[in-house]
Amino acid sequence: QTGPVIDMPVPASFNDITQDPSLENYIGWVWYEKEVLLPLRWLQDDLNTRVVLRFGSAHYYSIVWVNGVQVVEHEGGHLPFEADISSIVQGSPGIPCRITVALNNTLTPHTLPPGSIQYMNDKTRYPKNYFVQNIRFDFFNYAGIHRPVVLYTTPSVYIDDITVTTTSSESVAMVQYQVSVVGSTLYSLSLSLRDQEGKVVATGDGPAGELKVLNPKLWWPYLMHENPGYRYSLEVKMQAQANGVLLEDVYTLPVGIRTVHVTSTQFLINGKPFYFHGVNKHEDADVSVQRPCHYPYAEEIMDLCDAYGIVVIDECPGVGIKMPESFGNKSLQHHLVVMEELIRRDKNRPSVVMWSVANEPASELPPAAYYFKTVIAHTKALDPSRPVTFVTDANYALDRGAPYVDVICVNSYFSWYHDPGHLEVIPLQLTTQFENWYKTYQKPIIQSEYGADSVPGLHSDPPLMFSEEYQKAMLREYHSVFDKKKKEYVIGELIWNFADFMTNQGTTRVLGNKKGIFTRQRQPKSAAFVLRERYWKIANESSCLPPIIKSHTLFL
């Protein structure tokens, strides 16, 4: 016996698909089920073919069965997981494959992001067993199977993982690689690196080595080069004997050759100073609800960032870590696993120049020191090639995690959450913020969030809060300070937010957060034109290319 059964698209968030308010705010278990017919050729060569079921992401706790047999259990949203289902589906050609998923979106103090369930026990005010899901982050807790679900095959001996890092000078680049093969220890590997014209520029063999590329074409951010986002193709071919049959697995990985380096005042890409200017971005909309920022983005979007030269600060779902119990060993161990999953997914992307392990945690709490020291050290051990940060809104003198980051990322909302309506305090407060952080840590600083809500079409002269004019005026006050401090140690500015997005209902939220420079329907507000003019100016200052308008940076 089940509850109500309805059709549900995948990928999607189930909250906004219907007009049912109980589903909009539902907390607990939901069930998905679908039957598919697999190709006969997948099922007949059962000794040498491996059938895999892959989920791009599901929020947040998933248990998956195939034909009634449990195949995988996964904790956490936003990142992929998969299961080998060969033994279950092979040997039964022509019989539908039934995929069943139980999904629970409950957040606890030990999940990422964290949350808590609060039962309302006053029977004079609430129905029996009434509870609410409390969260400490400002976006709607969408749930469902949020990324594509695919079935694919490999040989029984297969390429499981590839890791690529690069170094370069003007005339030569080195591409270091490691290849993991699963299913046998008896195999051969050959590698070919091709340019975009298909010419082989380097070859190698074996599970680890180095490819030498003469006169390399580097991966550059948009507008830093006339040919941004250049990627080579690394073809990895494996051959192995198994069960008297020659097996072959081939995987082609796009490779961007670029370096990243951080000094006390600069962020260097390929040895040249890079200034982050772009947006923070949630990806919900009226007609397409998905959940990417303060968490990893969809892989399709990451592909576009690689191809177009859009720089990404890749952030795990560590948002809203506020409760003391969220800094304990249980939370820490899960956080380490999440970083492993994120790095495994995105480590080979040239667009990803820095990892972020959290957003606005309670980093002033005593256990935050050990917690972030451990998470950041683990992240660096997994990937020594990139700097690591987390985004803070704590006081510079109290932050216990900041000593361990490579770049200071700070969020502040002067004249909004602090001294609301008083634009005149921004120059002093923002300048003091930067000077205090730099004096304390001698590390480059990114203003990782700033902004103001504006209701589209609401106008006021003089500028008053929530008007489009106030949003523009706040941005300009911030920009005047950025222009002074970027000559010293400020290396970036990221507006909050690209577009309006949904939040929980509340007395300060009118159908969500209105800090977007675009509406939730992706129409520009007045502030969008202020940002376009500014980013055009910044791009022209650092480039001899024709001025083209486009954001450089995404904070995901």
Please give the angle made by the CA atoms of 189, 193 and 198, to the nearest 5 degrees. Answer: 125
Average pLDDT over residues 241-247: 91
Average pLDDT over residues 240-258: 95
| 548, part of any domain | no
Supply the pLDDT for residue 47. 83
**Residues 173 and 167 sit within 8 Å (Cβ to Cβ):** yes
Residue 146 is part of a domain; what is its CATH number?
A: 2.60.120.260
Whether residue 233 is predicted with pLDDT greater than 70 in this model: the reply is: yes
Average pLDDT over residues 112-133: 95
158-168 β-sheet, strand order: 158-168, 172-182, 208-214
Claim to verify: residue 95 and residue 201 sit in the same structural domain: no
Claim to verify: residue 346 and residue 242 sit in the same structural domain: no
Whether residue 182 is predicted with pLDDT greater than 90 in this model: the reply is: yes
Residues 6+ apart with CB under 8 A from 481: 426, 427, 430, 431, 434
Taking only the tens place, the pLDDT of each residue in 51-96 is: 999 999 999 999 999 999 999 999 999 999 999 999 999 988 788 9
Supply the pLDDT for residue 544. 45
Minimum mean pLDDT range among 40-49, 82-91, 111-120, 311-320: 40-49
What whole-number distance in Å separates Cα of residue 313 and Cα of residue 301? 13
Claim to verify: residue 514 and residue 402 sit in the same structural domain: yes
Claim to verify: residue 425 and residue 304 sit in the same structural domain: yes
Supply the pLDDT for residue 290. 39
| 7, part of any domain | no
Whether residue 160 is predicted with pLDDT greater than 50 in this model: the reply is: yes
Query: Predicted confidence band at 1 (pLDDT cuts at 50, 70, 90)?
Result: low
Taking only the tens place, the pLDDT of each residue in 475-494 is: 999 999 999 999 999 999 99
Query: Predicted confidence band at 517 (pLDDT cuts at 50, 70, 90)?
Result: very high
Q: 464 vs 72, 112, 389, 420, 517, CA distance in Å? A: 53, 37, 35, 10, 17
Q: What's the chain's average pLDDT?
A: 93
Claim to verify: residue 530 and residue 452 sit in the same structural domain: yes
Claim to verify: residue 336 and residue 461 sit in the same structural domain: yes
| 268, part of any domain | no
With tokens 């992401």, the residue in question is 57
Claim to verify: residue 319 and residue 170 sit in the same structural domain: no
| 121, part of any domain | yes
Q: Domain of 123?
A: 12-153
Claim to verify: residue 98 and residue 242 sit in the same structural domain: no
Please give the angle made by the CA atoms of 134, 138 and 140, to the nearest 5 degrees. Answer: 75
Claim to verify: residue 225 and residue 314 sit in the same structural domain: no
With tokens 């930067």, the residue in question is 434
Minimum mean pLDDT range among 54-63, 248-257, 282-291, 482-491: 282-291
**Residues 332 and 239 sit within 8 Å (Cβ to Cβ):** no
Q: Nearest-CA neighbor of 304 among 287, 288, 281, 271?
A: 281
**Residues 237 and 218 sit within 8 Å (Cβ to Cβ):** no
What whole-number distance in Å separates Cα of residue 506 and Cα of residue 504? 6
| 265, part of any domain | no
Domain boundary among the residues 153, 169, 197 is at: 153
With tokens 């589903």, the residue in question is 23
What whole-number distance in Å separates Cα of residue 75 and Cα of residue 330? 13
Supply the pLDDT for residue 347. 98
Whether residue 261 is predicted with pLDDT greater than 50 in this model: the reply is: yes
Alpha helices in 487-547 (DSSP H): 526-541
What DSSP line would sit under 23-46, residue for residue? HHT--SEEEEEEEEPPPHHHHH-T
Domain boundary among the residues 138, 153, 168 is at: 153
Q: How far is C-alpha 187 from the chain's CA centre?
A: 35
Claim to verify: residue 305 and residue 207 sit in the same structural domain: no
Average pLDDT over residues 523-527: 97
| 407, part of any domain | yes
Minimum mean pLDDT range among 41-45, 295-299, 539-543: 539-543
Q: Tell me the pTM.
A: 0.94
Supply the pLDDT for residue 285. 76
**Residues 43 and 91 sit within 8 Å (Cβ to Cβ):** yes
What whole-number distance in Å separates Cα of residue 370 and Cα of residue 209? 36
Structure tokens at 176: 């270091």
Whether residue 543 is predicted with pLDDT greater than 70 in this model: the reply is: no
> Looking at residue 524, what DSSP letter applies?
B
Structure tokens at 411: 């969020």
Q: How far is C-alpha 316 from the chain's CA centre?
A: 6
What whole-number distance in Å separates Cα of residue 151 and Cα of residue 248? 19
- For this structure, is 360 an active site residue? yes
Supply the pLDDT for residue 547. 37
Average pLDDT over residues 16-32: 93
200 φ, ψ (degrees, to nearest 5): -75, 120
Minimum mean pLDDT range among 25-29, 294-298, 385-389, 531-535: 294-298
Residues 6+ apart with CB under 8 A from 156: 47, 48, 49, 50, 183, 242, 243, 247
**Residues 354 and 407 sit within 8 Å (Cβ to Cβ):** yes
Whether residue 228 is predicted with pLDDT greater than 90 in this model: the reply is: yes
Residue 503 is part of a domain; what is its CATH number?
A: 3.20.20.80
Q: 471 vs 151, 158, 238, 534, CA distance in Å? A: 47, 54, 56, 15
Q: Nearest-CA neighbor of 255 among 227, 216, 204?
A: 216
* Secondary structure (3-state) at 473: helix
Average pLDDT over residues 218-241: 96
Select which of 82, 315, 341, 360 is catalytic.
Answer: 360
The percent helix, strand, coil of the chain (3-state, each to 5) is: 20, 35, 45
Using left for φ > 0, alpha for ψ between -120 and 50, and beta otherwise, residue 415 falls in left
Query: Predicted confidence band at 314 (pLDDT cuts at 50, 70, 90)?
Result: very high
Domain boundary among the residues 221, 255, 289 is at: 255
For the chain, how many structural domains are there in total? Answer: 3
| 81, part of any domain | yes
Average pLDDT over residues 158-165: 98
Tell me whether residue 67 is exposed, middle or buried, using C-beta atoms within 10 angstroms of its C-beta: 0 to 12, 13 to 18, 19 or more: middle
> Looking at residue 327, what DSSP letter applies?
G
Whether residue 46 is predicted with pLDDT greater than 70 in this model: the reply is: yes
Q: How far is C-alpha 19 from the chain's CA centre?
A: 29
Supply the pLDDT for residue 550. 32
Whether residue 288 is predicted with pLDDT greater than 70 in this model: the reply is: no
Claim to verify: residue 53 and residue 108 sit in the same structural domain: yes
Query: Predicted confidence band at 43 (pLDDT cuts at 50, 70, 90)?
Result: confident
Query: Predicted confidence band at 551 (pLDDT cuts at 50, 70, 90)?
Result: very low
Average pLDDT over residues 266-287: 90
Please give the angle made by the CA atoms of 157, 161 and 163, to the nearest 5 degrees. Answer: 145
Claim to verify: residue 238 and residue 325 sit in the same structural domain: no
Percent of the chain topping pLDDT 90: 87
With tokens 């480590």, the residue in question is 347
| 122, part of any domain | yes
Supply the pLDDT for residue 292. 39
Whether residue 283 is predicted with pLDDT greater than 80 in this model: the reply is: no
